[in-house]
Chains A and B, each alone.
Chain A
Amino acid sequence: MSDKKKLSVWVFVRVFFRTLILQAVWNFKSLLSVGVSFALVPVAKHLCKDKQEQAKMLRRHLYFFNSQPYFASFALGAIARLEEERINGQIEGTEKIDAFKNALIGPLGAVGDLYFWGTIKPASILLGLTGALYFDALLGKLLSILAMLIVFNVPHLRIRAKGLWKGYQRGYEIYKSLKSEKFARIRFIYQLAGAFFMGMIISFLLVTTLQVDYIQSIVFVLGILMAAVFYKRKKGNYLTVISSVVLALIIGLI
């Protein structure tokens, strides 16, 4: 029993830092796989007795894989656990590990994209933008940007670290932690905050333009309405912005 391999916290610290460049070799053939394999090098070095065995294990992780980059930590932690169990003889073969990794792609992408790209990122940026607009003093504006970076990166770095640890603790069971309901509360808070800041931005732009020239406010509102119409017709950002610019130029001619 004493010769059983056990991954240490230090191994996960090294994996964590490697996840910060997880997408460095993102490619259209295997997507995130090189980053995953690169991040698992400390795990392979700890578990496998020689270079050949390490290379064999890491080679298996070069097949197709994708995930929201921060949420990939859940997969990395779980894979580390399963590889540890395989080396210790608790899992036979590698097929189950590979199949499990493939099965995680869907939930990791779906939950992670919605959580970070669809909620936390816009809400954090809207906070920074609100401060940058409302504060007159430069210091206030810069502190708002700092607040934006903190509000985004605390959950970001927490998920990277927690994902690794939770994945390692739960192994095959990690998929239970990847249900969208598990992240619903934080997501809801950020969603509300994002909407609130959006409202503050709208009122700032409306009031400040009204104070100068009411036509500025009309152009601003027309810009919003055009974006809504163009979005509904799936026209994309370029056409939306260019059309608003053209409209502003036409109004400017009057």
Chain B
Amino acid sequence: MELFLISLIGGLLVLDTTAVLQVLISQPLVSGALLGWLLGDVSLGLRLGILLQLLWLNQLPVGAAKVPEGNLGAVVAVILVFMVKDWIPIYPNILIVSVVLYAMIVSALGVKLVTTIRNQNIFFLDRAVKGLEAGDVAILGRMTFLALLFHFLFLVAAVFISVWIGWELFRFLLPKLPVHWEYVARYVEFAIMGSGVGLTLNFFKEKRIGLPILLGMIVGMVILVLL
């Protein structure tokens, strides 16, 4: 029941990615903190949001481009960590590796989901065309809200199923891993952050942008040294 309720909230958050508002509440940084607060640990939710935020930031939803559904992957990852964390408390590094890789799989499958929703929306378009040709202006509102409802239900189902499969997978696989893998995985979080930073740096390729990056680094170091 709790998973269903949190999937509803997850679905609502992911809806912000394209269909409703687009005010950034679907971004991992925000959704991680919100879900963390709802699940009892804002700091953990935020930490996961920080880790996942940069992984997809360089993917621009330009025109009809199909980009990874990173926001969906992040929501699933955060819920999954909260479900698993008490169960395998001795494996934080392994959990991070597993959950980030799982979030990436979900984000890739999310592209298929969005494609399905966008194809499904052709049905609502056709109904709207027919309705308007018959003089029914209200059809536009009905089709818009019906499409939103379908989109939302698809997302809730995607979150629910992904978390459930992830939970079953993690429960089965993680205890089978040798304990020393936890030690082996100790650098993975920094590699993921490095990849995220490297991917995001592609936004700043212009020569004139080099100086503010350098300035930011200097100011950052001064703050860290002084505090």
Query: Which residues of chain A have a CB within 8 Å of any CB of chain B?
Result: 20-21, 23-31, 33-35, 37-38, 41, 44-45, 51-52, 54-56, 58-59, 62, 66, 69-70, 109, 113, 117-119, 121-122, 124-126, 128-129, 132-134, 138, 141-142, 145, 148-149, 152-153, 156, 191-205, 207-209, 215-217, 219-228, 231, 237-238, 240-242, 244-245, 247-249, 251-253
CB proximity of A26 to chain B, nearest CB, Å: 6
Q: Which of A66, A196, A241 contacts B55 (CB 8 A)?
A: A241
Report whether B50 and A241 are in contact in the complex, using a CB–CB cutoff of 8 Å: no
Asked if residues A152 and B23 are in contact (CB atoms below 8 Å), the reply is yes
B39 beta carbon closer than 8 Å to chain A? no
Quick check: B24 and A153 within 8 Å, CB to CB?
yes
- In whole Å, how far is A135's beta carbon from the nearest beta carbon of chain B? 10
| B178 CB within 8 Å of chain A | no
| 5 sample A-B contacts, Cβ–Cβ < 8 Å, listed by A number | A21-B148, A34-B124, A45-B137, A59-B132, A59-B133
The answer, yes or no, to whether B201 is at the interface (CB within 8 Å) is: yes
Give the docked Cα–Cα distance between A34 and B141 (Å): 10
CA of A116 to CA of B67, assembled, Å: 16
Q: Residues of B contacting A38 with CB < 8 Å?
A: 140-141, 144
Size bracket, chain B contacts: 35 or more
In the complex, chain B residues whose CB is within 8 Å of the CB of A34? 121, 124-125, 128, 140, 143-144, 147
A122 touches B119 (CB 8 A): no
Contact with A along B100-131 (1 / 0, CB 8 A): 11001000100000000011011011001100
The docked-state distance in angstroms from the alpha carbon of A124 to that of B22 is 14
| Closest B residue, CB atoms, query A203 | B220
**In the assembled complex, which residues on chain B have CB atoms less than 8 Å from the CB atom of A129?**
29, 50, 53-54
Who on chain B is nearest to A18 by CB?
Answer: B144
- In contact, A201 and B60 (Cβ under 8 angstroms): no
| Partner of B197 from A54, A58, A202, A251 at Cβ < 8 Å | A202
When the two chains form their complex, are residues A41 and B140 in contact, meaning their CB atoms are under 8 A apart?
yes
User: Are B125 and A54 interface neighbours, CB within 8 A?
Assistant: no
CB of B177 within 8 Å of the partner chain: no
Interface pair A237/B184, CB less than 8 Å apart: no
Q: Is the interface of A mostly helix, strand, loop or mixed?
A: helix
Q: Is the CB of A24 within 8 A of B100?
A: no
How far is it, in angstroms, between the C-alpha of A20 and the C-alpha of B29 when the chains are bound? 22
Given A62-B132, A117-B61, A221-B194, A41 contacting B141 (CB threshold 8 A): yes
Asked whether, in the complex, the Cβ of B194 is within 8 Å of the Cβ of A223, the reply is yes
Contact pick for B193, options A156, A196, A220, CB 8 Å: A220
What are the 6 tightest A-B residue pairs by CB atom distance, in nearest-first order?
A223-B194, A199-B216, A227-B198, A203-B220, A248-B191, A27-B121
Interchain nearest-CB distance for B157 vs A (Å): 18
A25 touching B121 in the complex, CB below 8 Å, given contacts A219-B191, A224-B198, A251-B187: yes
B56 and A237 contact, CB distance less than 8 A: yes
Contacts of A251 in B (CB 8 A): 187
Complex: A150 Cα to B39 Cα, angstroms: 25
Q: Are A121 and B24 in contact (CB under 8 A)?
A: yes
B215 touches A196 (CB 8 A): yes
Assess the A203–B60 pair: CB atoms within 8 A: no
Nearest-Cβ distance from residue B220 to partner chain A, whole angstroms: 3
Q: How far is the CA of A126 from the CA of B58 in the complex (A)?
A: 12
- The answer to whether B192 and A244 touch across the interface, beta carbons within 8 angstroms, is yes
A-contacting residues, B136-171, CB 8 Å:
136-137, 140-141, 143-145, 147-148, 151
Of the 9-residue stretches B2-10, B81-89, B202-210, which lies at the interface with chain A?
Answer: B202-210
Docked complex Cα distance between A218 and B188 (Å): 12
B81 to chain A, nearest CB (A): 17
Q: Is the CB of A142 within 8 A of B224?
A: no
Residue of A with least CB distance to B58: A237
CA distance A41 to B201 in the complex (A): 43
Inter-chain CA distance A26–B25, complex, in Å, is 20
Contact B19 A109 (CB under 8 A): no
A113–B62 Cα gap in the complex (Å)?
Answer: 6
The answer to whether B122 touches A29 (Cβ under 8 A) is: yes
Contact A252–B192 (Cβ < 8 Å): no
Is the CB–CB distance between B224 and A204 below 8 Å? yes
Q: Give Cα A250 to B134, complex, Å.
A: 66
